[in-house]
Amino acid sequence: MNNQVLIDNLRCIPDFPKKGINFRDVTTLYKSAECMKIMLDEMYELYKDKGITKIVGVESRGFIMAGALAARLGCGVVLARKPGKLPATVIKESFSKEYGVDTVEMHIDSINADDVVLIHDDLLATGGTAMATYKLVKHFNPKKIFINFIIEITDEGLHGRDLFDGIDLTTLVTI
């Protein structure tokens, strides 16, 4: 898709959070009404005929478009959160990162076998968080799982998409 308005409004912060990383700041897209409309319209067109019943928003920037798109599609929102943030009984999935281990959690009653699920997050880089979320959703054995990101980073030798071979994955912007 690579809408030029989205690309032009995406801020890049060199050497954040550490030297050598070019951080892509999606908040510049969220603060623009034009960008929000473009992102929501593009995501709606991608998923309007897929029968989505739940959107899993990944903490925390994934919550924003998950809620907006769910309202447009007429479906529910499920939160995939960092440990200790959800109040009821959870299932969890841990994954390795370059500086240690992290975990995502979801409530055990979030999804059922009749659901068609879209996992949404803001950015695909290494894919660790998204894969952990995908494994959590798979635990519920839904009818179908889709994955969507606003931005996919490939220009720094990152190949997060490779983790999702055979899984329906879309991005709005590839850098």
The torsion angles phi and psi of 38, rounded to 5 degrees, stand at -60, -50
Q: Is 24 a catalytic residue?
A: no
Q: Where are the domains of the chain?
A: 50-174
pLDDT per residue of the chain (175 residues) written in tens, 0 to 9: 789 999 999 999 999 888 888 889 999 999 999 999 999 999 999 999 999 999 999 999 999 999 999 999 999 999 999 999 999 999 999 998 767 789 999 999 999 999 999 999 999 998 999 999 999 999 999 999 999 999 999 877 788 999 999 999 999 999 8
Q: Is 98 a catalytic residue?
A: yes
34, 42, 45, 61: which is the annotated catalytic residue?
A: 61
Q: Which two tokens stand for residue 86?
A: 């959800």
Q: Which residues contact 67 (CB under 8 A, 6 or more apart)?
A: 57, 77
SS3 state of residue 17 = coil
Q: CATH number for 50-174: choose from 3.40.50.2020, 3.30.1540.20, 3.40.710.10, 3.40.50.300.
A: 3.40.50.2020
